[in-house]
Chains A and B, each alone.
Chain A
Amino acid sequence: MTKQKIVVIGAGMASGRVLENLTDAAPDQFDITLFNAEPRGNYNRIMLSPVLAGDQTYEDIVTHDDAWYADRGITCRFGEKVTNIDTAAKIVTGPNGDVAYDKLIFGTGSEPFIIPLPGHDLDGVIAYRDLEDTERMMSMGEGNKVVVIGGGLLGLEAAAGMAARGVEVTVVHIMGHLMERQLDEAAGYLLRKSLEGKGIDIKLQANSKEIVGEDGKVKALMLDDGTELPCDLLVMAVGIRPSIALGKEAGLAVGRGIHVDDQMLTSVEDVYAVGECVEHDGAVFGLVAPLYDQAKVLAQTLLGEEAAFVQKTLSTKLKVTGCDLFSAGDFAEGEGREDIVFRDPSRGVYKRLVIEGNKLVGAVMYGDVADGNWFFQLIKDETDIDEMREMLIFGPAYQGGEASDPLSAVAALPPEAEICGCNGICKGTIVDAIAGGATDLAAIKATTKASASCGTCTGLVEQVLQVTLGDEFEMPAAASICGCTDHTHEDVRRLIKSMPLQSQEAVWQELGWKSRNGCHVCRPAINYYLLSDWPIEYQDDPQSRFVNERKHANIQKDGTYSVVPRMWGGITTPSELRAIADAADKYDVPTVKVTGGQRIDLLGVKGEDLPNIWDDLNKAGMVSGYAYSKGLRTVKTCVGTDHCRFGTQDSTGLGIKLEKILHGAWTPHKLKLGVSGCPRNCAEATCKDIGIVCVDSGYQISIGGAAGMDVKETELMCSVPTEEDAMEVVLAVTQLYREGAKYLDRIYKWLGKVGMDWVKEQVVDDLENRKALAARFELSQTIYNHDPWADHVKAKADKYAPMADLTLEAAE
């Protein structure tokens, strides 16, 4: 019997598996010739990462050595690139001569995608694909810097492998979270945190602009925001694309890959393709499981058996020590889909199951992936999970589990985490006191001073008591922020500072949020807490703000807006008034009203006109009055010594100075000030949040007034001799309120909780602390003291217009 002649082009994982299957099933039926452009046989490419990390060696990952090929009678033509294929004559030509075939198999694999950035051809710019690339990365060590472009599976494995060798690695990723194709935001956040813990610097939403070189060698990567990242090696791991050039030359039908049918047959008779070079039913393949399926189908077909390749649900695991993650199936949200989310902050665990009807369709897990394959099986088998739905997320071993524990965030805090900010008391100190017999809140206060000052950490101290004492401590009920969490505002504020938490994702994960991304109640509060505690680190999220603060105008009941320009200290000029009048005419403003805060309100402006009217007012020298904000509104003044025969100080001047320095600051609720030039109090300063009454000897500063739902007179805080002192006290008390109060508490409500004595201790008696508070306020203002109108006019005016107008098209 004459043997069937098979020629295989490419010694990769898929073609290797075809050869195994064929020679196992029918050892003497085929005469096989194997071409490979690389000067070696088949090795397990997906294990290159463990080689890079030093967990394995190249020898460990060779799947077929010389002896294997010799044993199976396979003629190896390694290092030979196929130069021609004649599918009519059925001949393959290589540098060392022709080979005739009965059946031809393409296993040409894929090529790494190189972004054509300026400088991509410099020495030291590599992909992560083969052993040569891996060896190049292995040559890096301590003192070297490497930039990896691409925060997908391969890029992160490369980064972790090099970081383990002491290399300073930066990952640049264009998307908002890592591995966005396999993970959701929450799992991406945990992964990032864990990689940062390994010393890898991660830059998200970063666009590469150009690669800078010196003497033909890579020197740095430039981002489009001007950041320069110096590097000795730059690895591009942004994806792969099927190698189709040879197939195309040979006349095979190609799209993204070489087109094949369910039997892996190409458009040309007796020519097959398998692996990463193929396109089957519109899909191309990069993970190993479907490649092995294809290899099996092809081997069976060549052996004359019936077989068909079917695309299946895939699962992914990342091969980085210490980062356990797993994803399978489809986890996009969609109509009729439900999520089951489980978070255990103390163990850094996140699990999310996506259910459609009675079936599990997707799973994402981080931190604890032990049940991954069980869930994957449920997805693949389309098992009816209705019966086990309640306990499904706890995995196969767990039937009859308990709900997630709101105390776990506190339980997970290290002993050195600060619980009481006023007195600098750590969790460890409290736990020690409990062990020493202080078993209730009063005893803790007496022995440690924790929660004995402003009291906002009371909830946390109680939780430490409960975690330590268990059932022996009875927890007083406290209202949580909203249905998304069991924590109170005070607890969340304290934990944001002490853990520390610097992003919304971090808050949701570490504090065990029960929803995907919060709700309209908690999002504005968390956004405020983060920007007030981390002004530099955290970036304000307009999408977590109520419309008025996002659009910098007050929405009215008919969907129009009101526009209020600042009039510093209530002082205006004829030219400003003319500009306001002109704007009112130009934009058909139906109502112009003088407000209680000594300025002018233009009511009834259409949303799409906002950037235009702002631009006009900006040009006349006016800026946003923040009349819409949980922030500084106005500083109301009287005319003071300038004109009034009773005036004792320059109240107007002080008002203007205060309004300028406080402009743009966000606070827990609105903040209104008043400065009166004498005790006759024409500026009504004693019913403001902060009021100053000028007297001959200086300035009386009082806080906690209100003239709204509640009417309150201010309480005197202190008297100071100079204008400079008055300014510093106002900034310090504003900052104390910003740092401590619950979102949507005006100063008087906050004052009711912390007490005037405590505020005086912080702001009046302790001069050093006063200065520190004022300095923190000024630091925050380096970010927030600006005019949002001008910013919006410049950067996003087009977003105020409708995205499209179909009123004409639809009528046609």
Chain B
Amino acid sequence: MSWIDIGDINDIPLRGARIVKTQVGCIAVFRTAPDEVFAVSDTCPHKQGPLSEGIVHGQSVTCPLHNWVFDLNTGQAQGADEGSIPTYPVRVEGARILLDAESVSRRTAA
């Protein structure tokens, strides 16, 4: 994998998210309470709500439009809702967040 530096972990609010624009669409990069970082699609499969604006609890996010809840590890919708969002490899080195370049380029997405 080749890793791209997308920014500092402190640029994301604790229990919050920021978006990164990529060739495969907007990706939401989440930071949970114990400073874990997850990268998933920003788009809810239900009505395309922006997941980066949802409330982050544990390792889950709740979509701001209709309260679908997704597990950030697997991208699976929780509870009665059915659906999933793509997840992307991401890691933290020191305070820098690195995103896998290949998985967010158009070639691999096609």
Contacts and interface: CB of A to CB of B under 8 A. Distances in A.
A804 interface: yes
Given A515-B57, A520-B55, A520-B62, A543 B12 contact: no
Contact of A559 (B16, B50, B67): B50
Contacts of B14: 176, 543
Interface string A533-551: 0000000001111110011
Interface string A513-528: 0011111100110000
Nearest to A804: B6
Given A184-B34, A517-B15, A807 B23 contact: yes
B41 interface: no
B77 interface: no
Interface centre among B21, B48, B57, B62, by most A CB within 10 Å? B57
A519 B34 contact: no
A811 B105 contact: yes
Nearest to B108: A810
Contacts of A472: none
A334 B40 CA distance: 15
Interface in B63-110: 64-65, 67, 69, 73-74, 99, 101, 104-106
Contacts of B53: 547, 550-551, 555
A803 B55 contact: no
A205 to B, nearest CB: 10
A809 B23 CA distance: 9
Contacts of A334: 36, 73
Interface centre among A336, A517, A520, A542, by most B CB within 10 Å? A520
Contacts of A558: 48
Contacts of B54: 520, 547
Contact of B58 (A517, A524, A551, A806): A517
Nearest to B33: A517
A512 B14 CA distance: 23
Contact of B29 (A546, A607, A803): A803
B88 to A, nearest CB: 11
A542 B64 contact: no
Interface string A426-464: 000000000000000000000000000000000000000
Contact of A520 (B13, B69, B101): B69
Contacts of A185: 33-34
A335 B21 contact: no
A705 to B, nearest CB: 29
Chain A interface SS verdict (over half) = loop
A332 B56 contact: no
A807 B19 CA distance: 13
B62 A519 contact: yes
A557 interface: yes
A226 interface: no
Contact of A557 (B65, B99, B106): B65
A675 to B, nearest CB: 34
Interface in B19-66: 19-23, 26, 29, 32-34, 36, 47-50, 53-60, 62, 64-65
Interface in A368-389: none
A545 B64 CA distance: 10
Nearest to B64: A547
A806 B56 contact: no
Contact of B59 (A333, A546, A557): A333
Given A543-B14, A806-B6, A515 B58 contact: yes
Nearest to B17: A803
A143 interface: no
Contacts of A645: none
A402 interface: no
A806 B59 contact: no
Contact of A810 (B22, B33, B36, B47): B22
B32 A805 contact: no
Given A333-B36, A543-B16, A803 B101 contact: no
A802 interface: yes
Nearest to B35: A332
A544 B55 contact: yes
Nearest to A806: B22
Nearest to A335: B73
A551 B14 CA distance: 15
Given A803-B11, A803-B18, A543 B59 contact: no
Contacts of A523: 55, 57
A790 B56 CA distance: 26
Interface centre among B34, B65, B101, by most A CB within 10 Å? B34
Interface string A461-501: 00000000000000000000000000000000000000000
Contacts of A524: 55
B23 A804 contact: no
A799 interface: yes
Contacts of B101: 806, 809-810
A543 B15 contact: yes
B90 to A, nearest CB: 12
Contacts of A550: 53
A543 B13 contact: yes
A543 B56 contact: yes
B104 A806 contact: yes
A524 B15 CA distance: 13
Given A555-B65, A811-B23, A333 B16 contact: no
Contacts of A544: 15, 55
B58 to A, nearest CB: 5
A333 B6 contact: no
A151 B21 CA distance: 38
A551 B64 CA distance: 12
B101 to A, nearest CB: 7
A397 B37 CA distance: 38
B34 A333 contact: yes
A547 B50 CA distance: 10
Contacts of A546: 55, 64
Interface in A139-198: 176, 184-185
Contacts of A559: 48-50
B107 to A, nearest CB: 9
Contacts of A543: 13-16, 55-56
B17 to A, nearest CB: 9
Interface in A720-740: none
Contacts of B21: 802, 804-807
Interface of B: 4, 6-7, 11-16, 18-23, 26, 29, 32-34, 36, 47-50, 53-60, 62, 64-65, 67, 69, 73-74, 99, 101, 104-106
19 contacts: A185-B33, A333-B32, A333-B58, A334-B36, A335-B74, A336-B73, A515-B57, A516-B58, A543-B15, A543-B56, A555-B50, A559-B50, A802-B21, A802-B26, A804-B7, A806-B6, A806-B104, A810-B23, A810-B101
Which 8 pairs of residues, A with B, have the shortest CB-CB distance?
A520-B62, A803-B18, A810-B105, A547-B53, A804-B6, A543-B15, A547-B64, A520-B55
